[in-house]
Amino acid sequence: MSTQFLIGHGVKMIVIACNTASAYALDELRATLDVPVLGAVEPGALAAVTATRSGRIGVIGTLGTVRSGAYPRAIAAAAGGRDVHVTTHACPLLVPLAEEGWTDDAIAQAVARRYLGELREQSPDIDVLLLGCTHYPLLRTVLQRVASELFDHQIVLVDSAEAMALAAREELARLGLSRLGGTGSLRCFVTDDARIDEVGSRFLGRPIRAVQRVDL
């Protein structure tokens, strides 16, 4: 039903803008659909491999993403035989903090310190921290600050959402669909009563007004 809905409306490319959904659904969607499907995990993994010098990468994400094992597999594939060690750590409280807008206060700092402290205990020698959730960029400032305080060396933050956006731009250019320098419009479709107008505005930095609910 959802596939028919999407393809029937002339979709040329699909972006799964969620690490957890990418971890579990990307392969099946690519096998089912006849349009390019881009996820968040592969671009994030490639960006992390490119950024690391020591070959020690830490990945934080939702419990589902971490349990899937998608990032260790994708990073190993991106490394192409290079010796890379990956440590993953689930940080489930970061998503509600981002959605509530509590992104750089005492609560966010305490939660970040708890999670990154646990990651440091597992792997104190990482030099890249991969934000393996598209919510986490809203907490980038506090995560960078806490990481700098906890680790005794420089930690490079890699944003899987940014990496995915860059990969999407490259794919659109390859397909001849990019509109660099042009104008466009935003239409949001939701399947439940998510606060897309409120929460989405925090992510985009601008108001979201046109939201349409659909049944799949």
Active site includes 18? yes
Please answer whether residues 40 and 68 qualify as being in contact, where contact means their C-beta atoms are separated by less than 8 angstroms: no
Which residues contact residue 99 at a Cβ distance below 8 angstroms, ignoring those fewer than 6 apart? 135, 195, 199, 202
Which of the residues 133, 139, 163, 172 is marked catalytic?
133
Contact between 89 and 115 under an 8 Å Cβ cutoff? The reply is yes
**Catalytic residue of the set 18, 29, 57, 78:** 18
User: How far apart (Å, rounded) are the C-alpha atoms in residues 186 and 200?
Assistant: 12
- Tell me if residue 91 is catalytic: no
- Joined together, the tokens standing for residue 6 give 């999407």
**C-alpha dist (Å) from residue 18 to 55, 64, 126, 140, 165:** 25, 11, 24, 17, 12
Torsion angle in degrees (nearest 10) through CA of 15, 28, 93, 167: -30
- Catalytic residue IDs: 18, 133
